[in-house]
Amino acid sequence: MKISIIGAGHVGSSAAFAIVLQRLASRIILVDVNAALAAAQAEDLSHAAPMSNPVQVHAGETAEIAGSNIVILACGVGQKPGENRLQLLERNASIFANVSRSVVQYAPDAVVLIASNPVDLMTYVVARAGGIPASRVIGSGTILDTARFRTLLSAHLGISPHSVHAYVLGEHGDSEVLAWSTATIGGAPLETYAGQVGVALGDDIRRRIDEGVRRAAYTIIAGKGATYYGIGAGLARIVRALRDDERAMMTVSVLDPASAYTIPLSLPRIVGAGGILSTFHPTLSEDEQSALERSAEALQSAAKGLG
């Protein structure tokens, strides 16, 4: 499998590293406006290959993405301390419009994964640019927020995050919705499990976990300038589902013509060979459903400025 990554900064290189370690590709192409950075990242990654997988990692020009099975877009400018994801919109929209045209030109059959923020709106830009079916334009959405939710719940409950099934829906950003009502542990509702093992799950704990999920990026950015390991691993996870036709359920963002939502946002979606195969609409509590509608409205309002 050939994977091209446009943007060789923290996120792009972290995704490439995770892909190398997980043996998900036979060839990786790194493209960046800073050619020296792309070359250095490719050389460094190639030195990791003998410890994991005989993958070929090269830096190249945009034309070299031709023949890619998957193109990951991790380009654009990053989020500044104190800046929310929607404030990145104007700075990144024009970049993505140009990049999407290059993808259509050189790799029209690829699945496009988008990681740059605001990811839902960047997914919208690429999907609306034309030339690639919307089911093959996938934003990383709330896959990372969902991982954060499961991590904090598992820590509170004292179990593995692999045993926690819970989702974050809507915008990958401030209006995201933690779907507490659908969370399950071992097939049982979250509250049932917590009560059986004697772990408190009151409003104060829910607020703490909600804040931990919702503010995680701001905390990390304040401490080290950017987030990249978590999303890098998340992108690799999506790649594996695509490569192996896993038909795995993931909270990713896509422009769905059949949906009532006219903007990409995250819902549980089935990811397999070729892209998004279907979307699941969970039964939420009344408050959660209202919050999801507000999240969609916030994204739709921001999208109006895109023309």
- In the chain, which residues have pLDDT < 70? 78-79, 83-88, 307
Write down the pLDDT at residue 19: 97
Instruction: Quick: pLDDT tens for 188-243.
Output: 999 999 999 999 999 999 999 999 999 999 999 999 998 999 999 999 999 999 99
Residue from 58, 156, 172, 281 carrying the catalytic annotation = 172
172 tagged catalytic: yes
pTM as predicted: 0.94
Write down the pLDDT at residue 278: 95
Answer whether 115's CB lies under 8 Å from 10's CB: no
Say which CATH class 2-139 falls into: alpha beta
**Percentage of the chain exceeding pLDDT 90:** 79
Amino acid at 275: G
Residue 257 burial (C-beta neighbours within 10 Å; 0-12, 13-18, 19+) = exposed
Parallel, antiparallel, or unpaired for β 56-59 and 137-139? unpaired
What is d(CA 87, CA 98) in angstroms, rounded to the nearest whole number?
20
